Each structure stands twice: as C-alpha cells, then as structure tokens.
Amino acid sequence: MNRKKFFRTATPYFFILPWVIGFLVFTIGPLIFSLIMSFFDWPLTADPKFIGLGNYIEMFTEDDQFRKSLVISLKYAAIFVPLNMIIALFLAMLITQPVRGVKVYRTIFYIPAVISGVAVSIIWGWILNSDYGILNYLLSLLGIEGPRWLVDPAWALMAVILASAFGVGTMMLIFYTDIKNISIDIYEAASLDGASVSKQFFSITLPMITPTILFNLITSIISSFQQVTLVMLLTGGGPLNSTYFYGLYTYNNAFKHHKMGYASANAWVMFIIILLLTALVFRSSSAWVFYETEAKNSGAKKKRKGGKEA
Amino acid sequence: MKRNVALGCVLVLTTAAVAGCGGGESASTSGGKTKIRFASWDVAEDVDRQQAIVDRFNETHEDIEVTLEAYGSDFDTKISAGMGSGDTPDVMYMWNYPSYYGGLEPLDSYIEQEGADYKENFYDTLWNYNAMDGQIYGIPVGFTTHTLFYNKDIFAEAGLEEPTDDWTWEDLKEAAKVISEKTNAKGFAFSMKPDPYDFEMYLWSNGAAYCDGEGNMAGSINSDAAKEVFQMFQDMEKEGCAVATEKSGTDEFRAQTVAMYIYGSWSINSLNEDGLNYGVTKIPSFGGQPSVSILSSSGVAMSKDSKNKEAAWEFIKFWTSEECNKERIGLELPVLNSVVESEGIMDQPEYAPFYEMLEQSDGYTPASFIIENWSEVSEDLSLAFEQAFNPSTLMDVNEVLEGCVQ
C-alpha cells in the first residue's frame, strides 16, 4: 500500500528526472563551482590558490579593461535591444499582412536566424570589408563613400550591431505567432468604430502583445550581454579594442590568459548585472504589460461586486 | 511562475559563459592494450591524413592503441580545460609552450636515450622553440618561417626586376613606390594589427627586441632601433606605397591588389590553387645584418599526468620519424635534415627560402618565452601597434612605444 502510494506521488518526478539530472550536473554544478573558483587564483596548469575577494578587488580597482568592456557591452545593449525589437516587430507586422507569397517572405526573413554564428561572422566580414565588401560597393552606387567599418573604431560597434540584427528572425517569429493570436473580432469592432490602421496598431496590437514584448526584452538583454561569437570572429575585439565586449573579455581571461578564477569572477559580476537589469524590467512590467486573463478576472470581480451592491 | 521561468532563463544562459570545467578519469588500459589519447588541432582532410598515419601505427603495434582526437579551433580551450581538470590527452600537438609547459613532461631524458644522432637530425633552430627554461618539452613536427611573397605579373607590368634574396628594405620601398604609381595594385601589404609574436622578427633584423633577457621591456622596445622599424612601416603606409590590411594580407595578395607581402608557408597551397604567378624570396634586410624570421613551430608534447609515458614516447617517436615527416609533406614542412635532403626540397623554389630563413634565424628567443604573463602583454602590445598602423589613428611611433613601457 505504502509502496503504491510512493510510486503514485513519485511518478511525475521520474518523468522529469533526466532534466533534473542535466540541470544539476551541467547548470547548477558548474554555476556553484564557478562561484567557488571566483575566490581562487587558478592558472589552470597549476593548482588553485585561495585569495578571498582578491579577484573582485582587482577587477574594480586595477583592471581598466573591465570597466571599458562593461561600458562597451552596455552601449551595445542600449542600441541593439531596442533596434532589434523594432525591426522584429516591423517584420512581424509585414508577414501578417494578407499578401501573396507571404510564406516565402517569412522564410527569407527567418533563414538568417538558422545560420550558425560562425558563418554569419564570416559572411559579414566579407560584406563589411572596406576594400571589396558589397556594402560599401552598394553605398558607392548611391554616391556615398562608405566608412571603413571594421577598421575605424567609430564605426566598428555599429558594424557589429548591424551584423547581430541579421539574426532578428527568431524574435520576429515570436511576435508573429502572438499577433496571429489576437482575435480578429477586436479589429473588426475597431474598424466599425472607424479606427485607422495606425490607431489599431497602437491601441490593439501593441497592448495585446506586451507580454511577448516583455519576454523578448528580457531574453535579448541577456543575449546581448553574452555576445561573444560575433565579436570574436568578426572583429576580434578590435579595431583598437572598440568592440572588446564583456563576454569576450571574460572568455579571453579564461582561455587565453588562463586566469580561470578571475574569469569566474568576471562571469559572476555579469550574472549580477543581468539579474539586476532583469529584476528592473520585471518591476516596471506591472506598469506596462497587459495580461488578458488578469483584465478579465478583475473585470469579473468588479461586476460581482456591483451585483451585490445593487 | 512566469517570474521563476524567466529567472531560470537567466541562470541557464549565464552559465553558458561560466561553464567549461569538469571531466573525469577514463580507463587507460583495456584488453591488454595500452590506450593513448592524441590531440590534434588540424581539421577536415588534414585530420583524415593524420588518422591514416595513426591507423598504421595501431596496426604495427599490438600493445598500444592510439585514438586521434581532433580538437580543431577549440584546441586551446580543450587543452587548457583538460589541464585544469587533470584530463589532458597523453600526447598533443603544441606550440605555445610558455602557456602550457606547467602541464607537460620534460623530454630531455627521453631524447638522450635515443643517442646524439637522433637530436642532431632536427634543424637546430627548432629546439629553441620547443623548449622552456632550457628544458625540452616537445619534439618538432613542422614549422614555418616567414618569407617575402611577390606577384611576378605585377612586377612585369611595372617593368621592375623581381626581388632577390639580397634586397634591403630600401629596395622594397623603391619598388613599392613604382608599383603603386604605375599599376592598379599597391606595392606592399602588412597587417594593421600584427601579432606581436610575429612582428618581433623585424626588430631582431634591425638589432632590437621587445625585451632584454630578464623580460624588461624598457630600453628595448623603446630603443631607437625599434622605433626605426615601426617608423619605416608607418611611413610606407603614409606615403601610400604600402597598405595596412585588416587580416594578414593573403586576401589582398590573392586578389592581386598588392604586389608583395610577408607571410608563412600557410598560404602556398591556396596560392597554387589560384594559379597565381608568384615568387618567394628571403625577407629584405635592414642593411647591416641578415634578416631574421620568427618561427611558427609545431611539436608534439606529452602530458605530465600521462599514465603510460613509455607508450606515449613510443608514439611520439613514430610521429616524428623520417617516415612520418615524408608522409606529411604538403601538410607541414619537414623538420629533419635527412628528409629535406632525400626529398630534394631545397630544389623547390617556393620552399627553399623557408629553410634559408630558418638557417639564418638561429639564436633568437621570442619575448613570449621570456616575459612571464606574455598573453596579457601581447594584448597590450597588439593594441599599441594597431594605434600606430590603423589608418584612422596613425599615432606617433615615439609616443606609442614609450607608452608600451609605462
């Protein structure tokens, strides 16, 4: 009897056991390990040595590159995140339009998101080359002399942002499915009331998809801080360290300079920054994110209340 | 709930940047055979060729079984992660001895057992690059020096004599000027962000270096001779007879937009495939002494944690033998005197200059072997050099080099 009861309650846990094991071994394990190592000086080829908060102190007081890389990553996130979301939303709106061959466009917009980051970096390296790149060639047709994208430190960050925006497809798809989910009745009612197309977008579409916007905002903030592949392969952090992102800085400390403990500390600082930013976004979300279910429930409550009073 | 999911996302994604540790012990003997793990950094067809050689070793050795692990571009990451977790392959390709020698087995005693002839058959210059603090940690497998590549068609178009191995930088500059004026191509190309490891050869050629024997950079990298070198490159760029390239310059050379550049033997295969009409000769000198080239050398090394050192050495000996040197021609420049002689490599005009540069580059130790935290110093130097050569800055050479020693 007891055993039967045990199995009944335990069965669901058995189903999720593979995931739990994976999570413990490959996520929580390394996470805790890296937290511990962040208090050590660990040159990889020799044994770790405990140095307390030494790594953190060095980072904030002695290492100029730490601050510089952090600023570069913040700058990147500040430009990339909104830009990426606007482009994704715009494309999503385009592919929800009832035009012929929309499936073709949908595929075209999404394909870049399927290509591996390495290939994207190499392709953009060619596109952006100042001597034989196609981008500057196209600009020259318009009579514009294109900047030396990957050579001029003033333009390199823009070049990286441009190349990252190439992978906008996934976010577009998430917006797309959510927009498709909005009941057509609402739009019909609105157009009967004489609402213009732009009015419909700002008063119906946008509020209805705010939960998705929240999701995309958070995931893209996180991924923009972790951008490594692109800068490693496209610019190598250059020119003149203008694209030496925080992720690359951490990676180099770990695997180029073999300062595993220091890099762990770098990663934890990044973790805390991301955590704070995410918490901030969540805090603000109650002010601008609109959940349909919540609205219905609160509406229902009001009605009941009203009914009692009457 | 939603909040928890999102926090979970943060956790998972952040860990991706942190992960990279772990590992475990694997059985090193089974079925009476000693197992040896061998790590290579090569990719694609090169790995197939290496696998074929490994297979032959396994066929002829009943008691040893070698498995080839091709790490490709992840080589450094995996070797360092392996050393961190005590899970290093028994035998591995190696070039960056200053970073890894702590995890490697000194090989001097093994070499001694093979007798004096064994060691002498290797080009002498190579040992210096496979050693650290006077101890040998790797057996040379391949190398490249740097040489001057030139495009014969462009030289003909400009009506110029082709470069010879007694050229000085003055000669190169004169020719580059003529080419830049008379043809659509630029005369000379060099990287605007040169790897400091490679660039030191120009300083050596002019009697300078990055640092003294103790690793002090002050007085060396900011010496007049060093400044002269940087000034010359910057002047060529300013005067428009040279172009500073984003990468090594190979792309530009293949596209025939530059007539000359200095590089290792890596590009020979692709230049041949292109059918480019090119020549190779020694690096120009600064006039006084013969020019010196940096060596990019590869060796095979043994992990100090290996449990089967005898078997590992057996395999290393096989991998560095005459037979294997011959087999890898086209993949790597052979490092044994006897092989270079028997295969007539000195008669091949596109390969001979690499050996001539090798012979006249003996006795120099790169700063990476002397300066303790080279990988970080190298990063600072790289930034400094770029400040001098990036066309959007072209900072004053004096200022740049004085900045390096502060």
Q: Which residues of B touch A268 (CB under 8 A)?
A: 18
Same domain, B105 and B120: yes
- The mean per-residue pLDDT over the stretch B143-170 comes to 95
Q: Which of A22-26, B84-88, B247-251 has the lowest mean pLDDT?
A: B84-88
Higher pLDDT, B285 or A5: B285
CB pair distance less than 8 Å for A215 and B20: no
CB pair distance less than 8 Å for B13 and A226: yes
Rg (CA), chain B: 23
Which positions ≥6 away from B342 have C-beta within 8 Å? B326
Question: With the C-alpha atoms ordered B269, B270, B271, B273, is the resulting torsion angle positive or negative?
Answer: positive
Higher pLDDT, A109 or B301: B301
In a domain, B17, yes or no: no
- The mean per-residue pLDDT over the stretch B161-167 comes to 94
In a domain, B12, yes or no: no
Dist. CA A81–CA A101, nearest whole Å: 30
CB pair distance less than 8 Å for B102 and A43: yes
Q: CA of A229: which chain B residue's CA is closest?
A: B17
Q: Kindly indicate the confidence band of residue B355, based on its pLDDT and cuts at 50, 70 and 90.
A: very high
Tokens for B38, please give them. 């061998």
Same domain, B247 and B306: no
Please name every residue paired with B260 in a beta bridge, in sequence order, or none if there are none.
Answer: B150, B188
Question: Nearest CB to A264: which of B11, B18, B102?
Answer: B18
In the predicted structure, residue A258 carries a pLDDT above the cut 70:
yes
Which positions ≥6 away from A278 have C-beta within 8 Å? A218, A221, A222, B6, B7, B10
CB pair distance less than 8 Å for A30 and B20: yes
Q: What is the DSSP letter of A250?
A: H
B22 part of contact set with chain A, CB < 8 Å: yes
pLDDT digits (tens, 9 = 90+) for A154-195: 899 999 999 988 888 899 999 999 999 998 899 999 999 998
Q: Which residues of B touch A278 (CB under 8 A)?
A: 6-7, 10
Q: What is the pLDDT of residue B17?
A: 40
**Domain containing B106: what range?**
29-144+296-359
Check: CB of residue A221 under 8 Å from CB of residue A281.
Answer: yes
Structural domains present in chain A: 38-309 (1.10.3720.10)
Same domain, B114 and B41: yes
Check: CB of residue B66 under 8 Å from CB of residue B36.
Answer: yes
Q: Kindly indicate the confidence band of residue B227, based on its pLDDT and cuts at 50, 70 and 90.
A: very high
Tokens for B359, please give them. 């012979």
CA dihedral B380, B383, B384, B389 (to 10 degrees): 160
Same domain, B314 and B281: no
Q: What is the pLDDT of residue B15?
A: 43
Q: What is the pLDDT of residue A24?
A: 93
User: Of how many residues is chain B composed?
Assistant: 406
Nearest to B299 by CA among B165, B177, B136, B175: B136
Q: Kindly indicate the confidence band of residue B31, based on its pLDDT and cuts at 50, 70 and 90.
A: low
Same domain, B280 and B312: no
Q: What is the pLDDT of residue B30?
A: 52
Same domain, B300 and B288: no
Q: Kindly indicate the confidence band of residue A220, based on its pLDDT and cuts at 50, 70 and 90.
A: very high
- The mean per-residue pLDDT over the stretch B287-311 comes to 93
Q: What is the pLDDT of residue A256?
A: 85
Residue with tokens 């940087």: B230
Nearest to B374 by CA among B241, B215, B143, B223: B215
CB pair distance less than 8 Å for B19 and A26: yes
Same domain, B39 and B131: yes
Q: CA of B372: which chain A residue's CA is closest?
A: A257
Higher pLDDT, B193 or A296: B193
Same domain, B381 and B270: yes
Same domain, B320 and B181: no
Number of Cβ within a 10 Å radius of residue A178: 19
In the predicted structure, residue B27 carries a pLDDT above the cut 80:
no
CATH number of the structural domain spanning residue B311: 3.40.190.10
B383 part of contact set with chain A, CB < 8 Å: yes
Dist. CA B401–CA B381, nearest whole Å: 9
Q: CA of A222: which chain B residue's CA is closest?
A: B10
Q: CA of A23: which chain B residue's CA is closest?
A: B12
Same domain, B198 and B242: yes
- Angle between the N-to-C axes of helices A117-128 and A153-165, in degrees from 0 to 180, rounded to the nearest 10: 130
Nearest to B169 by CA among B281, B286, B258: B286
Dist. CA B19–CA B26, nearest whole Å: 21
Strand arrangement, sheet containing B258-263:
B242-245, B186-191, B258-263, B147-151, B278-281
Q: What is the pLDDT of residue A295?
A: 62
B394 part of contact set with chain A, CB < 8 Å: no
Which positions ≥6 away from B145 have C-beta within 8 Å? B264, B265, B293, B294, B295, B296, B354, B355, B357, B358, B361
Peptide bond into A239 cis (omega under 30): yes
Determine the residue among A158, A258, A272 to mutate to test chain B binding: the one whose Cβ has the most chain B Cβ atoms within 10 Å: A258
Q: Which residues of A touch B17 (CB under 8 A)?
A: 226, 228, 247, 250-251, 267, 270
In the predicted structure, residue A308 carries a pLDDT above the cut 90:
no
Same domain, B345 and B386: no
Question: Nearest CB to A240: which of B18, B101, B383?
Answer: B383
CB pair distance less than 8 Å for A257 and B375: yes
Determine the residue among B1, B3, B14 to mutate to test chain A binding: the one whose Cβ has the most chain A Cβ atoms within 10 Å: B14
Number of domains in chain B: 2
Nearest to B17 by CA among A157, A248, A277, A55: A248
CB pair distance less than 8 Å for B9 and A219: yes
Phi-psi sector, B194: left (phi>0), alpha (psi -120 to 50), beta: beta
Residue with tokens 């059985």: B27
Q: Kindly indicate the confidence band of residue B166, based on its pLDDT and cuts at 50, 70 and 90.
A: very high
In a domain, B307, yes or no: yes
CB-based burial of residue A112 (10 Å sphere; 0-12 exposed, 13-18 middle, 19+ buried)?
Answer: middle
Q: Which residues of B touch A148 (CB under 8 A)?
A: 391-392
CB-based burial of residue A276 (10 Å sphere; 0-12 exposed, 13-18 middle, 19+ buried)?
Answer: exposed
Which positions ≥6 away from B161 have C-beta within 8 Å? B155
Nearest to B19 by CA among A131, A37, A103: A37
Check: CB of residue B260 under 8 Å from CB of residue B150.
Answer: yes
CA distance A267 to chain B (A): 6
Same domain, B209 and B230: yes
